[in-house]
Amino acid sequence: MKLSKVVTGTAVVALSALVLSACGSSSSSSKNSTSSKASSSKVVKKSSSQKQVAGGALKDGTYKLDETGYDHGYKVQMAMTVKDGKITSTKYDYVDKDGKSKTKDAAYEKAMKAKVKV
C-alpha cells in the first residue's frame, strides 16, 4: 500500500513537471516563432497566383446532385455553378417526395420547435 502511494506521488510530480515545462516559454523559442512568422509572410507576399492543392481544374457549368434515397422523409438536393473556373453559387436543400423544401415546411418547423422547446 505504501509503495503504491510512493509510485503515485512520483508520477504526479513527474507529470506536473512535464506540463509546466511544456507550457513555459523561453526567449529563444519566441524569437524563432517570430522569425518563422516573418518568413512565412514573405512567402505569402511573393505568391501572386493560387496554387491548386488537389483535384483538377473546374469546368464551367452547373453541377447537380440528387440523393437517391429518402432518409426520414427527405433527400438532399445540391447544385453548384462554376464560371471562369470558380464556384459562383451553391444551393443545398432537403426536399420531400413532393419536391417541397424542408425549410418551407411549416408543420415540420412547428414540430421541431415543440421538440426543442424554442
CA distance 27 to 36: 14
pLDDT digits 0-9 by tens, 54-103? 777 889 999 999 998 887 888 999 999 999 989 999 999 999 888 889 88
Give me the domains of the chain, ranges plus CATH numbers.
61-116 (3.90.1010.20)
Q: Comparing 61 with 28, which gets the higher pLDDT? A: 61
In this model, does residue 39 exceed pLDDT 50?
no
CA-based torsion, 108, 110, 115, 116: positive or negative: positive
**Does pTM top 0.95 for this prediction?**
no
